[in-house]
């Protein structure tokens, strides 16, 4: 063993008040919220060279801001609104209905979003440590004491008083030995998707040839005739903010444990292979795509679920479908259960179950607190939920709202010198409201028209 690997020889970085691991949509919002009072030092650790996680690595549409249906209600606000407004000010956003009825999406320029996260984090005074991997943790008598990070210069200990695990995979909690459910252990894990983007698309020609319904028919024909071996006949392609470009969620790779690097590597290769099968199909069979080409594959294959921590409360399918209320609610969710699974015939079956009545259920604070812990919160796709509940509560509107709640909670716990479990959730809810978070369904529908949509996002 080299000295670099000996924990007692690892140099310590200056201690911080709050350490957030993972700069995805949840982690960025957690770090921003933790800095709202400007009282505490916050470091955000990210393994890649840019913030945003899935929001910038592979996607371009925030879902979860609005409930689906003809009478949409806006259910997310506060810091997530600031993100949308910053993109809007730069003219890099538009609203569009979801292909499968999941509600209105906020489509953005994902490259500009990297820069937007950079700017918001810098303005808030968050120290962002990019190209730094969390690889271990150090426990003391009172719980977690430090995270061990790996960078090109070797290992560093990062001491902190509070920790937020927003790594998507619950890496921090897993390293600390906290219990979690691994996707696939109890129910089939959701499939993985390499997203791809195409340029030189004649969208006018595509629309006049029938648009989405024509695309679905062409996929059916291509598979039935054996002309293009598409992995699935469903999948969406939508116009990006950049003119003449489309983004897709079409590739499908099943039965992968994305915490196993060999399985993940095989999935990455398979995702790329499938993307080019789709490219050939689009160019050959879809009007408007004759000259189109792939200009970008997702930086990382899209992983819908891996580990979900067991928290002080676990959100369940029943909670979602019975539209349950909780006294310690810190966010709302009206998104359908959207569960992408492999079907027995090798195709895909996707469950779409709407939340009854176009309403939104409460997500309790306790789903963000790992069981028995006082110094750690979890935010984003590794929060405490069953497989089905997570399949509903995983859109970025909700992951940003979780981050916002966890960041405020960590700051409040330092301010009031109490642990995560004894936090005054009334005070937390009050602070969330002051920030613009929505904790009750608005009485009036949101205006999602091209003219009025921007008024929904508070400044």
Ligand X SMILES: Cc1cc2nc3c(=O)[nH]c(=O)nc-3n(C[C@H](O)[C@H](O)[C@H](O)COP(=O)(O)OP(=O)(O)OC[C@H]3O[C@@H](n4cnc5c(N)ncnc54)[C@H](O)[C@@H]3O)c2cc1C
Stretch that binds ligand X, among 61-69, 74-82, 220-228, 262-270 (CB under 6 A): 61-69
The Cα-based distances of 165 to 86, 207, 316, 422 in angstroms read: 26, 43, 21, 19
User: How many whole angstroms separate alpha carbon 25 and alpha carbon 62?
Assistant: 10
Size of the site for ligand X (CB under 6 A): 37
Helices then strands (H, E): number in the chain? 12, 20
Q: What is the residue whose two structure tokens read 């294959």?
A: 301
Tell me: does residue 235 bind ligand X (CB under 6 A): no
SS3 137: strand
Tell me: does residue 248 bind ligand X (CB under 6 A): no
Tell me: does residue 388 bind ligand X (CB under 6 A): no
Shortest Cβ distance from residue 402 to ligand X (Å)? Answer: 8
Tell which residue, 276, 255, 262, 274, has the closest CA to residue 192: 255
Tell me: does residue 338 bind ligand X (CB under 6 A): no
CB 315 within 8 A of CB 392: no
Give me 71's structure tokens: 């009478």
Stretch that binds ligand X, among 22-30, 156-164, 206-214, 323-331 (CB under 6 A): 22-30
Tell me: does residue 247 bind ligand X (CB under 6 A): no
> How many Cβ atoms are within 10 Å of 284's Cβ, its own excluded?
13
Tell me: does residue 337 bind ligand X (CB under 6 A): no
Restricting to residues 153-192, name those near ligand X by CB under 6 A: 166-169, 171
Tell me: does residue 110 bind ligand X (CB under 6 A): no
Tell me: does residue 237 bind ligand X (CB under 6 A): no
Tell me: does residue 336 bind ligand X (CB under 6 A): no
Tell me: does residue 238 bind ligand X (CB under 6 A): no
User: How many whole angstroms separate alpha carbon 436 and alpha carbon 29?
Assistant: 13
Shortest Cβ distance from residue 141 to ligand X (Å)? Answer: 25
**Residue from 10, 26, 241, 446 that binds ligand X (CB under 6 A)?**
26
Restricting to residues 307-326, name those near ligand X by CB under 6 A: none
Exposure on the CB side of residue 65, measured as CA atoms within 13 A: 27
Tell me: does residue 47 bind ligand X (CB under 6 A): yes
**Residue from 162, 304, 387, 429 that binds ligand X (CB under 6 A)?**
304
Nearest CB to ligand X, comparing residues 285 and 298: 298
Tell me: does residue 127 bind ligand X (CB under 6 A): no
Stretch that binds ligand X, among 62-70, 77-85, 138-146, 356-364 (CB under 6 A): 62-70
Residue 198's beta-bridge partner residues?
246, 294
CB neighbour list of residue 153: distance below 8 Å, 6 or more residues apart: none
Shortest Cβ distance from residue 386 to ligand X (Å)? Answer: 15
Stretch that binds ligand X, among 41-49, 206-214, 308-316, 439-447 (CB under 6 A): 41-49
User: How many whole angstroms separate alpha carbon 77 and alpha carbon 62?
Assistant: 13
Q: What is the residue whose two structure tokens read 């995702």?
A: 271
User: How many whole angstroms separate alpha carbon 357 and alpha carbon 355?
Assistant: 7
Say if strands 246-249 and 236-239 run parallel, antiparallel, or are unpaired. Answer: antiparallel
Nearest CB to ligand X, comparing residues 103 and 288: 103
**Which residues sit at the interface with ligand X, rule CB under 6 A?**
21-27, 45-48, 53-55, 59, 61-64, 133-134, 166-169, 171, 193, 249, 302-304, 380-381, 394-396, 399
């Amino acid at each position: 063993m080299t000295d670099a690997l000996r924990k007692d020889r690892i140099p310590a970085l200056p201690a911080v008040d709050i350490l957030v691991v993972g700069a995805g949509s949840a982690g960025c919002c957690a770090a921003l919220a933790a800095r709202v009072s400007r009282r505490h030092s916050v470091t955000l650790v990210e393994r890649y060279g840019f913030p945003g996680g899935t929001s910038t690595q592979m996607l371009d549409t925030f879902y979860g801001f609005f409930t689906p249906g003809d009478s949409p209600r806006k259910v997310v606000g506060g810091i997530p609104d600031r993100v949308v407004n910053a993109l809007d000010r730069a003219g890099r956003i538009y609203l569009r209905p979801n292909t499968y009825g999941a509600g209105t999406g906020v489509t953005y320029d994902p490259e500009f979003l990297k820069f937007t996260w950079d700017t918001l984090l810098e303005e808030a005074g968050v120290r962002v440590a990019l190209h730094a991997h969390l690889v271990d943790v150090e426990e003391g008598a009172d719980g977690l004491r430090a995270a061990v990070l790996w960078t090109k210069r070797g290992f560093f200990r990062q001491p902190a008083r509070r920790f937020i695990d927003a790594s998507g995979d619950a890496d921090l909690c897993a390293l600390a030995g906290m219990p979690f459910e691994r996707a696939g252990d109890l129910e089939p894990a959701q499939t993985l998707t390499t997203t791809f983007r195409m340029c030189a698309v004649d969208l006018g020609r595509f629309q006049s040839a029938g648009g989405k319904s024509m695309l679905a028919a062409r996929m059916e024909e291509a598979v039935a005739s054996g002309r293009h071996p598409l992995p699935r006949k469903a999948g969406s392609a939508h116009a990006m903010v950049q003119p003449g470009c489309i983004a897709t969620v079409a590739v499908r790779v099943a039965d992968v444990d994305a915490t196993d690097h060999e399985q993940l590597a095989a999935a990455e290769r398979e995702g790329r292979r499938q993307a080019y099968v789709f490219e050939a199909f689009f160019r050959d069979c879809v009007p408007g795509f004759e000259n189109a080409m792939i200009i970008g594959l997702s930086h990382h294959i899209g992983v819908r679920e891996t580990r979900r921590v067991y928290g002080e409360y676990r959100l369940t399918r029943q909670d979602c479908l019975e539209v349950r209320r909780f006294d310690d609610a810190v966010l709302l969710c009206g998104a359908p259960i959207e569960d992408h699974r492999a079907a027995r015939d090798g195709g895909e079956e996707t469950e779409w179950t709407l939340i009854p009545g176009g309403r939104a259920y409460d997500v309790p604070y306790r789903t963000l607190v790992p069981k028995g812990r006082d110094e750690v919160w979890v935010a984003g796709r590794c929060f405490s939920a069953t497989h089905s509940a997570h399949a509903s509560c995983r859109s970025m509107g909700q992951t940003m709202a979780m981050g916002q709640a966890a960041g405020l909670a960590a700051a409040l716990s330092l301010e009031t010198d109490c642990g995560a479990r004894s936090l005054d959730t009334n005070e937390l809810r009050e602070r969330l409201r002051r920030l613009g978070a929505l904790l009750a369904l608005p009485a009036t529908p949101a205006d999602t028209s091209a003219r009025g949509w921007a008024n929904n996002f508070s400044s």
